[in-house]
Chains A and B, each alone.
Chain A
Amino acid sequence: MTDLLLSQIKGGNESQFGTDEYVVNLGPQHPATHGVLRLVVKMDGETVKETIPVLGYLHRSIEKICENRTYPQCITYTDRVDYVSAMSVNLAFALATERLMGLEPPPRAQWLRMVFVELQRIASHLLWMGAFAGDIGALTPFLYGLRERERILDLFEMTCGQRLTYNYIRIGGVMIDILPEFVPKCRAFLDYFEPKIAEYEELLTYNPIFLERTRGVGLISPEMGINNGVCGPSLRGSGVACDVRKQQPYLYYDQVKFTECLEPGGDCWSRYRVRMREIRESVSLVRQCLDRLEPGPIETKLPPILKAPPASEIYSRIESSRGEMGIYLVGDGTAKPYKAKFRCASFSNTYVLDQLTRGWKLADIMAVLGSLDMIVPEVDR
């Protein structure tokens, strides 16, 4: 009897020992789904057969709300579309509105926007690093990441008074000029921060457990990634040049020097590497922008009521921390957008989750989901 059992366990008669398909429900309240994403996972033993994401647990109807708000009022809601990287969404909406109405902000405002958006990218990637490492079992980077993130938030708070939802980048400029001590403080932070990146890398990059969990897991090939609408750092981890800052330069990104971070691997580890390199690039970008900052006005003069031209529309894209962020606005000659659509990177990135996790183990879902840097309010809006 024992021999029979052993032979079967070693790969004998599968029909006798075959397992039934069973369903594991993750979420909507689950620590590793970054909020309220729900995953219904069909499994065969420990192997994933299908992952079905169930969305809508944070569908706050922001697009409907924007249809009944004036353009400047909408900026408040854009903060909440992606709260980890609120400046980027502020910027996306402000740029779209400016292009719709033909406004041109003064240079100082543009450089300030770049400073804040790049600082926000650092903050967002730091939080991502903490959460990603936490997902696969390393809890320390979370504390390190948030330690430095707090210092960036201090800079934001000093300028606009908020820690998370800034409402700082407005249509036609920025809300308020920076304080005189902002520039030295920001430089001091960058000098303090740069060596810390090496510290994180020492902690994680070639850590054997980390490598084991991320190398070769969740492979995205370039063709599959493009066809499935993957964008941002997740697609650059597969070696596709897709940075909107390079492809369709906005602000003054054509006047500063930075390299687009590409990694050929296509696995979770490559996506991690892309983001860590982007942090370094952002540090250098902030430095360049601070150098180019010159005194001047920070806002263009706007009419008392901002109205879009009748029957106008715009699709404007920026590179947010998570990837391509598109805003589609339709104007009908009134002060409110007729239609506002937020195309968010997380939405299209989460779509590939099912294809990436088939055939892998349950625990790998967390690694893949973490490496895609999805955030639920962007998926649901």
Chain B
Amino acid sequence: MGIGLTGVSGPEIEQMESESQIPGLWTLEKAVGFIFKWARKNSLWPLQFGTACCAIEMMATAAGRYDIARFGAEVFRPSPRQADLLIAAGTVTEKMGYALKKLYEQMPKPSWVIAMGSCTIAGGPYYYDSYTVVKGIDSFVPVDVYVPGCPPRPESLIHGLMAIQKKIEDEPIFRRRKNA
């Protein structure tokens, strides 16, 4: 909306290390990769970042009945420096977008992003007639998993978390920033 949140980083910011570039890493990956993956996927620490309605469902997911601790992701960290999963729960306005981008950049890599709810996916009910809401956070933060719903049920969020775990298992352990 004129201010320009887009452009600096994008989904292409992280690119996987290819086999041809550094062969040694590939061997290491094969030898010990499964230990890294196992550790990573079972101890995802989400950043406590809730903006709107979805945050309440995120809290419900963390509470007794849905118990996100079963998946090792109950350690909600207030500081981005200690987190490796960003659950963007709730509407992101332009004013908040800058904060979100900064938070993502402060997280140690590798890190993963879940876009929770229609607002973060594409603006949702605020697509039309809204002069503040960002129409999809993937224009400035690389999103790994989209969880649709307004708001999504806790089961959906857990499903999204499992998709992240699957993704960790499937991808190489070394990821590198393209422009780093």
Contact = CB atoms under 8 A, between A and B. Distances in A.
Looking at chain A, what size class is its interface with the partner chain? 20 to 34
Interface in A2-41: 28-31, 35-36
A358 interface: no
B130 interface: yes
Contact of B48 (A31, A68, A163): A31
A57 B99 CA distance: 10
Contacts of B95: 56-57, 59
Contact of A58 (B48, B60, B76, B96): B96
A80 B55 CA distance: 12
B56 interface: yes
Nearest to B102: A29
Interface residues of B, number: 34
Interface string B22-54: 000000000000000000000000001111110
Interface stretch (A142-150, A170-178, A274-282): A142-150
A163 B53 contact: no
B49 A58 contact: no
A39 to B, nearest CB: 14
B52 A68 contact: no
Contacts of B60: 146, 149-150, 163
Interface in A259-286: none
B128 A65 contact: yes
A68 B129 contact: yes
A202 B128 CA distance: 49
A76 interface: yes
A316 to B, nearest CB: 23
B16 interface: no
B93 A60 contact: yes
Contact of B78 (A31, A147, A376): A31
Contacts of B76: 31
Given A28-B96, A35-B55, A61-B130, A165 B103 contact: no
A77 interface: yes
Contact of A60 (B64, B91, B103, B153): B91
A360 to B, nearest CB: 22
Contacts of B160: none
A83 interface: yes
A164 B49 CA distance: 19
A232 interface: no
Contact of B96 (A57, A67, A143, A150): A57
Nearest to A68: B129
A60 B131 CA distance: 8
B64 A163 contact: no
A58 B94 CA distance: 9
Interface of B: 48-53, 55-57, 59-60, 63-65, 76, 78, 90-91, 93, 95-96, 99, 103, 125-126, 128-133, 150-151, 153
Given A57-B93, A65-B125, A143-B63, 6 more contacts: A29-B48, A29-B49, A29-B99, A30-B78, A35-B55, A165-B150
Interface of A: 28-31, 35-36, 56-61, 64-65, 67-69, 76-77, 80, 83-84, 127, 142-143, 146-147, 149-150, 163-165, 376-377
11 contacts: A28-B96, A29-B48, A29-B49, A36-B51, A60-B126, A69-B129, A76-B125, A80-B125, A83-B52, A146-B60, A163-B151
Question: Which 5 A-B residue pairings sit nearest by Cβ, starting from the closest?
Answer: A146-B63, A83-B53, A31-B78, A65-B129, A61-B130
